Structure formats: structure tokens, C-alpha cells
Structure 1
Amino acid sequence: MSIKQVRSEEEMRITLQTLTLQFGADTTPARGLCGSELEAWLNQAEDELFDQLFSRLNAQY
């Protein structure tokens, strides 16, 4: 099944930089990916980051 690309290449590049610089995420697995493959990787990485941050927040309360 093919995933339709929704994000522009520029948006995905900015998202990769943000994941690395702001959140310390390891984005090396995304090297060499482009188009829908990169978008799928970003979606998964963002979901994992959200879950991690949400768990930390819940642990505080």
C-alpha cells in the first residue's frame, strides 16, 4: 500500500532538524529516505516522541 505524501520536502527537512535539535531524537535512520518513505518515518518518530513526552508528563502527576 502506498502512502500519499502530504508534507512538502521542505517541511520534512525542517521536521527532521526540529526532532534532532529540540528533542534530541536520533534521525540517522531517516538518512537517505525521501518522499512517502520519509513521511512515514517522520510520522512514526513523532508518534513515539509524543508517547514518550506524554508518559513523562503523566508520571509527574
Structure 2
Amino acid sequence: MQITLQALVLQFGVDAAPARGLRGLELEAWLNQVEDELFEQLCSSLNEQD
């Protein structure tokens, strides 16, 4: 999960401050939510380009 968190920060500029101190299932839930939001943002930007 730490690798995923680092990749989100470095590759997509995600603010990881809200994840500080999270561990285990809480971190996993936060990551899932952020990944879903990022996916929606990226899909929206692709649709706008069409």
C-alpha cells in the first residue's frame, strides 16, 4: 500500500496528507477512494478532449 500511495503522489500529484497515520484497512479504504476519484477525473478529462 505504501508503494501505491507513493505512486499516486509522484505520478498524479495526489495530496497524501489525509492518509498520514492511517494503517491497514483504513489506509486501504482511503487509497480505494482516492483511486476511484482519480479514475473519474482522468476519464472526464478524456471525454472533454473528444
Please classify the TM superposition score into its range, dividing by the shorter chain length. Answer: over 0.9
* Deviation, structure 1 residue 38: 0.2
Partner of 1:25: 14
Query: Which runs of 5 or more structure 2 residues have no equivalent in the other structure?
Result: none
- Give the CA RMSD over aligned residues: 0.3
CA distance in 2 between partners of 1:38 and 1:22 (Å) = 19
State percent identity of aligned pairs: 72
Count of equivalent residues? 50
- TM-score between both structures, scaled by the size of structure 2: 0.98
Partner of 2:32: 43
Query: Which runs of 5 or more structure 1 residues have no equivalent in the other structure?
Result: 1-11
- Deviating 4+ runs (over 2 angstroms): none
Identify, as 1 or 2, the structure richer in helix: 2
Q: Which of the two has higher C-alpha Rg?
A: 1
- TM-score between both structures, scaled by the size of structure 1: 0.81
